[in-house]
Amino acid sequence: MCLYRAPSGDLDYFLDHLEEILLSLYNPKIQFILCGDFNIDFSRPNHLQTQLINLLNMFNLKGTVSFYTRITPTSSTMIDNIFVDKNSSYLISPWINGLSDHDAQILRLEVHGGQTSQPSFIYIRDLNEHNIASFLHCLSYEQWSVVFEEKDINKMFNNFLNVYMRCHQSNFPIIKRYISKHIRSPWITKGIVISCLRKKELFILSKTLNDQRLIKFYKQYCAILSKVINAAKKLHNSNIIFKAGNKMKATWGIINREKGKTQSNSLPKEISHEGNIISNQSKIANLFNKYSLLNSAWPSQGTKNNVKFNITNSIQF
């Protein structure tokens, strides 16, 4: 279960509702994994941490994070955490993704009782142009009176968040998205992998040391690495086109792959024709060809009396 607690949120309110949720989901045969941004610093003792840990102890949960998860030039805090069953065997490590001032955490749990298959799908929010427009339209009709008429800054933020999340959840429904097996691109060489790891190390150093010379060097390194990656992709694509018998088809294959389009086999397996079910692909193709030829034979002006229906050879037609 993933959750978020606002920095100014009422802790008692948060704990009460968290307890209700855990009680409603509790099952002796099921182990919880609770993760999120609690906005409670677990790196140093405080009363907020004590209250939360006391609650989670009731459900046999323990924290796993023992490193800083948010590092800025002025502070280092451990406000993100993952709670698992106390009987679990695990490994946890930080992951610097460069997308947020919070570092991600990678948790590896030891699963007993045989191998488990990887899930073939995930649940995500449906973010498309129509839903985004509907979301903005929904926000434009909000009066925000519950926000501006409130004097308490904490309640004001909570009211704003409630309105925002209501519009967000109603306009971006959860959908099932099937996962395709990831195959590493052939142009990604061992040197590029090593350079990407080095880039990650430089990012961590530039973030923690706040050295302007290091930051400048990191930006230069990123620019050079981008040029190397582009050159590797260009060389790989050029080789594909050079070796292809149908160069136009190979070119469009590269374009569609870069745009994220995948080929799908949409050929019909069988069709119904004059009361008969035809599954032979050659016969299906001939029927479609005959249909296309007959349709293209009609003159744009005049009648259709001169068309011969008994000719199947396209050259004679």
- For each of the domains in the chain, give its residue range(s) and CATH number, in order of start: 2-115 (3.60.10.10), 122-178 (no CATH), 190-258 (no CATH)
Are 91 and 108 spatial neighbours (Cβ–Cβ below 8 Å)?
Answer: yes
Distance of CA 296 to the CA centre of its chain: 46
Q: What are the tokens at 57?
A: 């102890």
Q: Are 19 and 56 in contact (CB under 8 A)?
A: no
**What pLDDT does 181 receive?**
62
- Please give the Cα distance from 230 to 251 (Å, whole number): 17
Residues in the chain predicted with pLDDT less than 70, given as ranges, are 112-119, 180-183, 262-268, 292-317
As given in the structure block, the two tokens for residue 221 are: 């390194």
| Helix, strand, coil % in the chain, rounded to nearest 5 | 45, 15, 40
Q: CA 307, CA 309: separation in Å to the nearest integer?
A: 6
Write down the pLDDT at residue 40: 92
Angle at alpha carbon of residue 21, lines to 15 and 23, rounded to 5°? 100
Q: Which residues of 100-111 are buried (b: 16+ CB within 10 A; e: fewer)?
A: eeebebeeeeee
Quick: pLDDT tens for 182-214. Answer: 667 888 888 998 998 888 888 888 877 778 888
Note the pLDDT tens digit of each residue in 244-279.
Answer: 888 888 888 888 888 777 665 556 677 887 878 888
pLDDT in tens, 97-117: 777 788 889 999 887 665 556
Scan for tokens 């993704």, then name that residue: 97
CA distance linking residue 21 with residue 36, whole number of Å: 15
Do residues 217 and 202 touch, judged by C-beta distance below 8 A? yes
Q: How far apart are CA 195 and CA 221, in angstroms?
A: 9
